Amino acid sequence: MANTYHSEQTIGVFDSGIGGLTVANAILDLLPAESILYYADTAHLPYGRKSPDEIRSYSHHITGYLLDRDCKAIVVACNTASAAALDYLRNSFPEVIIVGMEPAVKPAAQATRSGVVGVLATAGTFRSERYAQLMERYAGNIRVLQNPCTGLVEKIEAGLTEDPDTMSFLNGILQPMFSAGADTFVLGCTHYPLVRKALEQLVPADSVIIDPAPAVARQLYHRLQARQLLAPSDHPPQYRFHASGPEASLHRALTYYWPTEFSIV
Residues taking part in catalysis: 78, 189
Q: Count Cβ atoms below 10 Å from residue 211 Cβ, excluding itself.
A: 19
DSSP state of 49: G
- Cβ 201 to ligand DGL shortest distance, Å: 22
Cα(203)–Cα(200) distance, rounded to whole angstroms?
Answer: 6
Binding site for ligand DGL (CB under 6 A): 15-17, 19, 45-48, 78-80, 122, 125, 153, 189-191
Q: Which residues are 11's β-sheet partners? A: 36, 73
Shortest Å, Cβ 152 to ligand DGL? 9
Least separation in angstroms between CB 122 and ligand DGL:
4
* Closer residue to ligand DGL, CB minimum distance, 17 or 118: 17
Nearest approach, Cβ of residue 181 and ligand DGL (Å): 26
104 backbone dihedrals φ, ψ, rounded to 5°: -80, 60
- List, in order, residues 6 or more apart from 102 with CB less than 8 Å away: 79, 82, 83, 130, 131, 134, 188, 212
CB of 82 to ligand DGL, least distance (A): 8
Which lies closer to ligand DGL via its Cβ, residue 10 or residue 79? 79
Nearer to ligand DGL, 55 or 97 (CB): 55
Which residues, in sequence order, are bridge partners of residue 187? 120
**From the CB of 78, what's the least distance to ligand DGL, in Å?**
4
Task: State which residue, 37 or 230, has the beta carbon closest to ligand DGL.
Answer: 37
Phi, psi angles (nearest 5°) of residue 228: 55, 45
Taking the C-alpha atoms of residue 115 and residue 110, their distance in angstroms, rounded to an integer, is 9
Residue closer to ligand DGL, measured from CB, 83 or 231: 83
CA neighbor of 209 nearest in space, from 126, 82, 103: 103
Q: Which is nearer to ligand DGL, 153 or 217 (CB)?
A: 153
Q: Give the strands of the sheet with 97-99, arranged side by side.
A: 97-99, 71-76, 10-15, 35-40, 239-243, 263-264
Q: CB within 8 A of 136, min separation 6: which ones? A: none
In 10 A of CB 135, how many CB atoms? 17
